[in-house]
A and B are shown apart, each in its own frame.
Chain A
Amino acid sequence: MVIPIFKTSLETMGGLAEVFMSSIRELRLRRPSTKDIYTQIYNLGIASIPLIAITALSSGFVMTLQFGLGLEKYGGKPYVPKVMSLAIFLELSPVFTALMCAARVGAGMASEIGSMKVTQQIDAIRALGTSPYQKIYLPRIIACLISFPILTLITSFLALVATAIVANAELGLPWLFTYQKIVTTITPWEFISGLVKPFGFALCVALPACYFGMNVTEGTKGVGRATTMSVVTASILIFISDYFMTKIYWLIYPYA
């Protein structure tokens, strides 16, 4: 039981590394077209904004309420904007955005690429003397790398708006007080940390989607399996890489 899981995990990691290295190699040989990248930025990034907005607002509302009511008992209500802004910029926003994108973007990419594989469209791209990396994989990977930080910024902004609303409406904290706490808490380092993580998470979502999509076998059943595996792998990678990226961040900037 343990050995096959270990073997599959190793194979997957090897496959993801291969896709990553091939992507870099192909990027040097054949640049994907700007039009293809724009199209994918729209499909993967802009089209994700409504989902991201709902996630940001609802998590911002709930978390602020929980923190506010919890800290109120100890007289810690004024700290809510500070706690929330740190939590949002450093963790909630990058991770929630990545997880929602793993579900929406990763699943979509894996099933689209898998369907193209099953219907021989990937073979057709190769047979026509062109590279699937240039035409299919790279535009999607690059689009994720561009979109994720922007989506994370949008999530952060909306979650902070939600925080301000609940802080005012439910906890009675003035708007200006919340605003001042937020802008004085978030240093450039926190801001950068919140923007660096999405680049890593973009790879955590895009690489499994491409890898499982391009290796689909067994027809439509295989497409379903590839989609599931892509989302599961992306989610696991997001959590694991989040720990290491946070660790690196703390090593560089230990709040001395």
Chain B
Amino acid sequence: MKKILLEVKNLKKTFGAKTVHQDISFKLHKGECLGLLGGSGTGKSVILRALIGLEKIDSGQIIYNDNEIQTYNEDQWLNIREKISYVFQNGALFDSLTVRENLAYPLREHFKLSEAEISTKITKLLGEIGLENTEELFPSELSGGMQKRVGLLRSIIFSPEIILFDEPTAGLDPFNTLNIQKTILKMKALGFTSIFVSHDMPTALSVCDRILLIKNGRIVEEALPDDIESSNSNLRKFMDGTLKL
């Protein structure tokens, strides 16, 4: 049995009068890619944001490496965020900085590397994801897919322990979707642990080891990708578009 790296127990979250999560509980094992699926507005991103303290939860526990972290203050969260990285849906690149500066930002903050080392690393990594010669471009000069890939690279460049993917393939064409898929699979092979939030069932089936379905603020189903295709489960119905969430 692999070590439990992150555990969420009875997470509850409300926004004003609206209860987004009533009772969310799950475990994330080391090296695993866990899929969180659900309809639009079911609060999947809220869970991810809560896991790195960008969103405060009303009650429940978030346990990371045997430490309860939901009560941490902002200073303590800064340390957690060096280990749990968040890949934003739109990339969230700094629009006044070039691609090189965007990628150099976490490296300068968390490592003692020379500018030459940073530059070499960035050029190498951009080449690996098919974005050669984009170092001096600004985010506004990149396509949506390229921005997402740079955003993804910026979130993983400092080798976090857990990566939280917030709809990394949303709005992408099949070619770019496949590129992202390949990147995630490559990272999985390198031993990264991750949570994958998406509506994109084919990608979820190809990258996730386990998939959870969220409905009405609760996890209503858990399944392995191989079982979903052949079953009559809610996840199968969600995939076919016959389940309203």
Bound complex: CA A128 to CA B77 (Å):
11
Task: Tell yes or no: A126 within 8 A of B by CB.
Answer: yes
Contact partner, A128, options B49, B74, B90, B105, Cβ 8 Å: B105
Q: Hey, what's the 0/1 contact readout for A119-135 against B, CB within 8 Å counting as 1? A: 11101101111110000
Known: A29-B75, A123-B54. A129 touches B92 (CB 8 A): no
Chain B CB within 10 A, most for which of A123, A124, A127: A127
Nearest opposing residue in chain B for A112, CB measure: B96
Nearest opposing residue in chain A for B105, CB measure: A128
CB contacts (< 8 Å) of A119 on chain B: these are 90, 92, 95
Q: Which of B48-74 contact A (CB under 8 A)?
A: 49, 52-54, 74
Bound complex: CA A93 to CA B77 (Å):
44
Judge whether B88 and A127 touch: CB under 8 Å: yes
Judge whether B88 and A123 touch: CB under 8 Å: yes
CB contacts (< 8 Å) of A129 on chain B: these are 78-79, 81-82, 106, 109-110, 158
CB contacts (< 8 Å) of A29 on chain B: these are 75
Judge whether B81 and A126 touch: CB under 8 Å: yes
A121-B95, A123-B88 given; name 4 further pairs at CB < 8 Å: A127-B85, A128-B81, A128-B105, A129-B110
Bound complex: CA A123 to CA B90 (Å):
12
Judge whether A131 and B92 touch: CB under 8 Å: no
A-B pairs under 8 A by CB, number: 55
Q: Which of A97-138 contact B (CB under 8 A)?
A: 116, 119-121, 123-124, 126-131
Nearest opposing residue in chain B for A33, CB measure: B108
Bound complex: CA A123 to CA B109 (Å):
16
CB contacts (< 8 Å) of B92 on chain A: these are 119-121, 123-124, 127
Bound complex: CA A84 to CA B92 (Å):
52
Question: Looking at chain B, what size class is its interface with the partner chain?
Answer: 20 to 34
Bound complex: CA A123 to CA B94 (Å):
11
CB contacts (< 8 Å) of A116 on chain B: these are 94
CB contacts (< 8 Å) of A130 on chain B: these are 78, 105-106, 109
CB contacts (< 8 Å) of A131 on chain B: these are 74, 78
Q: Hey, what's the 0/1 contact readout for B91-110 against A, CB within 8 Å counting as 1? A: 01111000000000110011
Known: A127-B52, A127-B85, A130-B109. A120 touches B78 (CB 8 A): no
Bound complex: CA A158 to CA B198 (Å):
60
Judge whether B88 and A124 touch: CB under 8 Å: yes
A-B contacts, 6 of them at CB < 8 A, read: A124-B94, A127-B92, A127-B155, A128-B85, A129-B79, A131-B78
Task: Tell yes or no: B44 within 8 A of A by CB.
Answer: no
Bound complex: CA A192 to CA B199 (Å):
63
CB contacts (< 8 Å) of B54 on chain A: these are 123, 126-127
CB contacts (< 8 Å) of B75 on chain A: these are 29
Q: Hey, what's the 0/1 contact readout for A131-163 against B, CB within 8 Å counting as 1? A: 100000000000000000000000000000000
Bound complex: CA A116 to CA B95 (Å):
9
Nearest opposing residue in chain B for A123, CB measure: B54
Chain B CB within 10 A, most for which of A119, A126, A129, A130: A129
Bound complex: CA A241 to CA B52 (Å):
40
Bound complex: CA A129 to CA B84 (Å):
9
CB contacts (< 8 Å) of B85 on chain A: these are 127-128
Task: Tell yes or no: B86 within 8 A of A by CB.
Answer: yes
Bound complex: CA A131 to CA B73 (Å):
12
Nearest opposing residue in chain A for B90, CB measure: A120
Chain B nearest CB: distance from A43 CB in Å? 10
Nearest opposing residue in chain A for B77, CB measure: A126
Bound complex: CA A129 to CA B105 (Å):
11
Chain A nearest CB: distance from B106 CB in Å? 5
Nearest opposing residue in chain A for B88, CB measure: A120
Bound complex: CA A131 to CA B53 (Å):
13
Chain B nearest CB: distance from A108 CB in Å? 13
Task: Tell yes or no: B154 within 8 A of A by CB.
Answer: yes
Bound complex: CA A116 to CA B92 (Å):
9
CB contacts (< 8 Å) of B49 on chain A: these are 123
Nearest opposing residue in chain B for A124, CB measure: B92
Bound complex: CA A121 to CA B90 (Å):
10
Bound complex: CA A126 to CA B52 (Å):
9
CB contacts (< 8 Å) of B90 on chain A: these are 119-120
